[in-house]
Amino acid sequence: MVVYKEPEPTRASKANVSAFAESIARHVGYEPETSIEILVSKLGGGIAYRNPVGDKPESIVVEPSGMFKIFLPTMTSMGRDKFTIAHELGHYFLHFPKIHAVDPTAGMKAYRWVEDDNPDLQRCEWEANWFAAAFVMPTEIFTRLFREGGKTKVVSVLGVSPKAAEVRAGSLGLPA
């Protein structure tokens, strides 16, 4: 029987997590203008949809082998789903390797919504968010698109939600 562990934070800075995300995107050949679902498949993962009430959507389950499944809610936009997939990939690339290094027989389960009284899991969520933002909206491409046509151009070219584009602009010091 597989034991599934919770993610543990890397404690890396936001800048380091962002740089790591952009390097992983280059390494796996991901282009932000393309389908992230195809990448999930290439990495040995799958995507499933769950009812947002009671089924814990917005999560990832990673097997000891590295195979994984990302769960999405049934009632969200494609732009929101893209960010959520990248967020779960953040857990996969940032947090699963730590678990696997300590116990190669263990898997990992990470859920987007964590308890307020668990600062380590909250930190893991921040790290996964930082990863996701840089992965699907890399600094150079995002900045160029934003300067060309604002949030609207970013949303249309990168396929992210308006809120994700707005938050990313703010984090890069661009006027939202």
Residue 55 has pLDDT above 80, yes or no: no
Locate 45 and state its tokens: 């993962």
Q: What tokens does 128 get? A: 């996964």
Contacts 24+ apart (CB under 8 A), 136-144: 136/32, 136/36, 136/82, 136/83, 136/86, 136/160, 136/164, 137/32, 137/164, 137/165, 137/168, 138/22, 138/25, 138/32, 139/18, 139/22, 139/172, 141/32, 142/168, 142/169, 142/172, 143/172, 143/174
Q: 145 — phi, psi (to 5°)?
A: -65, -40
Q: Is 101 helix (H, G, I), strand (E, B) or coil?
A: helix
User: By mean pLDDT, which of 9-13, 33-37, 63-67 is the weakest?
Assistant: 33-37
Structure tokens at 131: 């990863």
pLDDT band at 54 (very low <50, low <70, confident <90, very high): low
**Residue 165: is its pLDDT beyond 90?**
yes
Q: Quick one: tokens of 53?
A: 């009430």
CATH architecture classification, 4-136: Orthogonal Bundle (1.10)
Label residue 2 by pLDDT band (50, 70, 90): very high
Domain boundaries, the chain: 4-136, 138-176
Lowest mean pLDDT among 47-56, 95-104, 105-114: 47-56
Q: Give the least confident one: 48-57, 62-71, 106-115, 148-157.
A: 48-57
Sheet holding 4-5, edge to edge: 4-5, 107-111, 59-62, 68-73, 45-50
Whole-model pTM: value is: 0.95
Q: What is the pLDDT of residue 114?
A: 82
Burial profile 48-62: b = 16 or more Cβ within 10 angstroms, e = fewer? eeeeeeeeebbbbbb
H or E element that contains 107: strand 107-111
Question: What mean pLDDT comes out for the span 101-129?
Answer: 93
Per-residue pLDDT, averaged over 132-146, amounts to 98
Cα Rg of the chain (Å, integer): 16
Residue 53: predicted pLDDT: 63
Average pLDDT in the chain: 94
Q: Residue 171 CB: number of other CB atoms within 10 A?
A: 16
